[in-house]
Structures are given as C-alpha cells and as structure tokens.
Chain A
Amino acid sequence: MSPLEFIAVALDALRANRLRSALTMLGVIIGVAAVILLVSLGEGTKNYVEEQFAGLGANILIVTPGKIETRGGPPIIGAARHKLTLDDSRILEKKGYLFGGVAPVVFGAAEVRQASRSRNVTVLGVNKDFSPVRNIHVEVGSFVTDSDDEAKRRVCMLGRTVKRELFGNANALGQVVKIAGTRFRVTGIMERKGVSLGFDIDDIVFVPVRTAMDIFDTDALIEILISVRNKNDIESGKELARSLLFKNHNRHEDFTITNQAAMLSSLFTILDTLTYVLGGIAAISLLVGGIGIMNIMLVTVKERTNEIGIRKAVGARDRDILFQFLLESTALSASGGLAGVLVGALGAGAIRVLVPKMPVAVPPWAILLAFTFSVFVGIFFGVYPARKAASLHPIEALRYE
C-alpha cells in the first residue's frame, strides 16, 4: 500500500464522520490559532518597542557615573561615587574623533509656573548637541545654542504637554515662565514626541546645561550622551570614550558606558521570553486538543473493530492497520493545524483592523512551529489508539458487532 493510498483511506474515514472530525479538529484549530495570536501579540509588542527606540537613534553611547558590573542592563541611578562633569564632556568633544555629538545632561525636577498655572515637570539641562543626538527637535523657536549655554542664559524650551498646560492655545514663544522660582524666557516649543516606554517626552522642559547647574546647584551630570558618527564604529567609539575618560579620571574606571543596542538587546531578551511564555501557554491548549484526538480515535477504533477484522482477514498486516489509524489522527491534527493557521492569521488581521493600537505581527516561524507542533500532537496522541487497533486479534475483531 503506497503512502498516497494510506492518506486517501484516512481522508475517506474522516469524511465519513464529518461533524465528529470537525469538532475534534476544533480543539487543534483553537490551539494553533491561540499560539499564533499570542505569539503575534508578543512579536508585535517587540516590534513596537523597537520602533519607539529607533526614533532615539541606535548609535548612541550613554556614559553614566559609577562603575556598575552589569552587562547590557540600564545603569542604576544613584550608584555613582565619582561624578561626571562638564570637563569630561569637553574632553570627549575635543578628542572624540569618532563622535558626531556629545551631549552632557543635567537632570532635575521643578515646578514651572506661568501666571496662575503651574506644573511639576522634569527639567533637563542640555547643550545644542542633545537635539540631534536624541533626535528631538523644536517645532518653533530655537533649541539651546552654544552662546545660551556659555552665558548661562535663562531660556527654556517647553515640551508640548507643558506648553498646553501652561499656555493652552495662546502663543508661548517669548513669554516668561518661572522655573523653581527663577524667571526664564521661552525660546522654543518642542515638536510632539508622544509617550515612549511610559515616559512622556512632551512633559519635559529643556534649559541650557550650565543654567541647569546653577538653578539645581550641582556640577554633576546625570549622563553624557554620545552619538557615534558611523554605526560600525560603535564598539571602537565605546573604547575611545572609555580611554579618554579613564585618563581624565586619574586612571579610575568610575563610569559606565552603555550603548543603546545593548540595552535594547536585553529588553528584547525579556520580550522574547514573554513571547515564548505566551506561546507555551497557548501550546497547552493544543495539547488538550491532542487529548481530544486520542479520545475520538479510541472511539473510532472501537466502532471500526469489525472493519479492522475484515482488513486483517484479507491480509492487512498489523503495521498496515497501525499506519492507517496513525494517519487518520495525523490528518485530523494536520488539517486542524492548517485551519488554525488560517484562523490565527485572520484573527491577527482582524485585531489590526479593529484595535489599531494593539501591536500584532504574525511571524512566519510561529506559523511553521504551530503547524509542526499540531502534526506532532496528532502523531503522539494517535499512537496509542493506533497500536490498540493494530493489536486486535482478527477473529475477535471479526466477531465484534
């Protein structure tokens, strides 16, 4: 009996019991569709995060004070013993031939007040490089300039949210606000950036870095951002920054240099794990579908005991019977798997249309994996009933009514 004939016999048997076959398949369909949908959500989330980060530039090095022995993860704020200063930033700028921009950052939180309205916001002290390095630009007015910085001018750029909260629809450019009690002139309004990873970039006020040092009374930087001009030079750029700072810190490595890519990769590791966990949970439902197959195959074998007897009487060997029933269960699970792939893909499409905010992306590997797994489930749960069928004694099988 050729494999094709085995398949034909199996499909015949499934057609003979359409409703039952369909219901049995449903278990597998739901399992496969669930795997594909959940994995697609996980994958979509990953893509979403990737997009969010892409706007911030992938070729960025982040220097933070303090040496932290971690790989990849974001540095822990406050672990510093030795400060990063503008002097470090200046050295990096002067000797960092691989760098496109060097942006020292001072961080503070302050109340911003305009007339009767006030708002507690994040205040970042930055230089002119911050804008290109972080890919954040003003929509109207101008960003921090070198002369603003050197003169420690009391100027500020408002994020979209801050502007709206303080000025509503009125013109803010050239107006005066009070930051931590000090008068600042608004010289720029930032473009809308939205929320990135739960952090509202539009709820920030930017001031020149030296001005920020004055109002927060500090000479310590929270970080120095460096953009590496050529993407391929990330590693050598990192090494260059390290050796420059090492020298400048009297041969102490009391700082940490992270790059965006490394941070992303650790985040993606987490997201991947999440995807696998979701897929794994869905796979359990596929297993349940497999048990359904086993159940129905046991019923089928019982019902067709006489048929098995007839086939054996005319010369079917045990393994012919084994293959026949194994193929039947596999055909059940494989067609269920195929339908499940369809349902899963359509479901992902429907989510994309109906809930555009929900990130979904159907990865081809998930389709392949879910389908392969469903076939495997059919084989695995088909073995026991098929063996039972094959081991029937022909005489008893013939006698069975």
Chain B
Amino acid sequence: MESAPGSEPLLRLRGVGKIYEAGEQPVVGLEGVDLDIFPGDFLAVMGPSGSGKSTLMNILGCLDVPTSGTYEIKGMPITRLSPEALASMRNREIGFIFQVFHLLPRYTALRNVELPLLYAGVGREERSRRAIEALRAVGIEDRKHHLSNQLSGGQKQKVAIARALVNRPSLLLADEPTGNLDSRSGEELLAILTRLNAEGSTIVLVTHDLSIARNARRIVYIVDGRLVTPEEYRELRG
C-alpha cells in the first residue's frame, strides 16, 4: 500500500496468508495481504464479520503466525519465531485492547495494568509507579484499587488501554474496542485513542463499523481474507 516518505515501516506484511487446517477442508483465513504500518499511524481495518480481520489482528499481535508470506516488526521477521519469542514480542511491542476487555476479574485495576510489567520482569515499585502513570494517562487513576469487576464497561476499557500502554509498546491493537460500550463511553474511548495517536502512539483499530473507522487517519478494507480497495469493498458489500 502507500508509504509515508522518509520512514521505515514499523510493521511490514508481504503476501501474508493463513490457512486453518480445521476439519476436512482447509479454511482460508487470510490470503496475500501486503501491508505497511508506519510509526505514528492510526490505521483502521474495516471489514464485516468473518472477513478475516480478526485473523489479521491475531497475526499483527503475534498471537498467531501466518502460514505463508512474511511479517516483520521493526525489520525483525516474526514468521519463524518460537512461542517463547512471540510471547516476548507481545510483551514488549504490542498492547492489546479487546472488545470484551479481558481484565482479570479478581484483580484490582492497578494489578491488571501491572500484569505486562510483571512478565517483563519489572520490579515491584517501578511496576506500581508505571501502572499508576498509565492509569493517569487514561484518566482513571482514582479507580486503581477497585476490583475490575466492580468497574463499568467504559472504566474497564480505560483500564485495558492503560494495560496496553504500560509497557510502552510499538503498537496498540484495538479489536472492536467500542463494541461493548454505550455510545458516550465509546466516544470517550475513541477520543483517548485519538489523543494517544496525536502523542505518538501507533494504533491499529479493527472494526466493522465505518463511523468508528472514520476516526482513524487511514482505512484498509478486508473481505474474504483479502485487502480490497474502497470501491471494491462497496461493490462487494452491495
């Protein structure tokens, strides 16, 4: 796709495909995806459910590896990394924001945010300091000692963003982040993402909702596991 002049892509995908060997017939999840994401990008991946956008997001987030093609983060090939190294990539380079929040319910907001630092081997005091800092950055520091299941949806998603931010990753990956929020919380959340992007965070937002995708600087469309142009997308979607 188009490239911003004068900078190396943060993420580079070339001919990325994913075939699932589930059941009798292999299922194509992703096919020939070429994509560059640059530092400071705010990219929306737009597609209907079942289009392969979750598969793309899993691959971008190092939760899964492609079955064909190459994928590089900061020039490092991800395709052939061990599960151990993938875990380390997720820890250092990626911050996830999920539709269903995925917070640990028995943990306080603070401890949820500390989690990535725990696995990064950061010491207790430093961990707590940085987690509070991240909570402050999304404006929910006052809820740090609340158990996550005592928080509202909007508050939960803010905690999730703080958790995604806390280890200063290269990329924030948000998968339908407003899907379980009321419209006011959704708007607030998008405002936070926009602000974080303005402050330098690279963000990939996966959604099926065009009004949400419009918050991004750039939109790519995905149908049946392939990236398509906006015109093709409109045509295919009827």
Partners in one complex: yes
Q: In the complex, A310 Cα to B106 Cα: how many Å? A: 13
**A314-B63 contact, Cβ under 8 Å, with A5-B118, A398-B98, A398-B102:** no
Q: Is the CB of B88 within 8 A of A317?
A: yes
Q: Is the CB of B104 within 8 A of A315?
A: no
Q: Is the CB of A1 within 8 A of B87?
A: no
Nearest chain B residue, comparing its CB with the CB of A315: B91
A394 at the B interface (CB under 8 A): yes
Q: In the complex, A312 Cα to B84 Cα: how many Å? A: 10
**A310-B102 contact, Cβ under 8 Å, with A317-B119, A395-B58:** yes
| Chain B 47-67 near chain A by CB (<8 Å), digits 1 or 0 | 000000000001001011000
B121 at the A interface (CB under 8 A): yes
By secondary structure, the A interface counts as helix
**A313-B119 contact, Cβ under 8 Å, with A16-B106, A318-B84:** no
> Which residues of B from 84 to 129 have beta carbons under 8 Å from A?
84, 87-88, 90-92, 96, 98, 102-104, 106, 115-116, 118-121, 124
Chain A interface residue count: which class?
Answer: 20 to 34
Contacts of A317 in B (CB 8 A): 83-84, 87-88, 119
**A320-B84 contact, Cβ under 8 Å, with A313-B96, A313-B102:** no
Contacts of A5 in B (CB 8 A): 118, 124
Q: In the complex, A390 Cα to B56 Cα: how many Å? A: 24
> Which residues of B from 187 to 232 have beta carbons under 8 Å from A?
none
A316 at the B interface (CB under 8 A): yes
**A395-B64 contact, Cβ under 8 Å, with A1-B121, A311-B115, A314-B116:** yes
**A306-B119 contact, Cβ under 8 Å, with A395-B58, A395-B64:** no
Q: In the complex, A16 Cα to B115 Cα: how many Å? A: 18
Q: Is the CB of B87 within 8 A of A312?
A: yes
B-side interface residues, number (CB < 8 Å): 26
* Number of interchain pairs (Cβ within 8 Å): 59
Q: Is the CB of B120 within 8 A of A315?
A: yes
Least distance between A390 CB and chain B CB atoms (Å): 10
**A314-B115 contact, Cβ under 8 Å, with A307-B104, A394-B63, A395-B58:** yes
Q: In the complex, A309 Cα to B63 Cα: how many Å? A: 10
Q: In the complex, A306 Cα to B115 Cα: how many Å? A: 15
Least distance between B27 CB and chain A CB atoms (Å): 14
Contacts of A165 in B (CB 8 A): none
Least distance between B9 CB and chain A CB atoms (Å): 23
| Chain A 304-332 near chain B by CB (<8 Å), digits 1 or 0 | 00110111111111111000000000000
Q: Is the CB of B88 within 8 A of A314?
A: no
Q: Is the CB of B92 within 8 A of A314?
A: no
Q: In the complex, A306 Cα to B100 Cα: how many Å? A: 11
Q: List 11 A-B contacts (CB under 8 A).
A: A1-B118, A1-B121, A16-B106, A310-B104, A314-B119, A315-B88, A315-B116, A317-B119, A318-B84, A319-B84, A395-B63
Beyond contacts A5-B118, A314-B91: 15 other A-B pairs, Cβ-Cβ < 8 A, are A309-B102, A311-B119, A312-B90, A313-B96, A314-B96, A314-B116, A314-B163, A315-B116, A315-B119, A316-B87, A317-B87, A317-B119, A318-B83, A318-B87, A320-B119
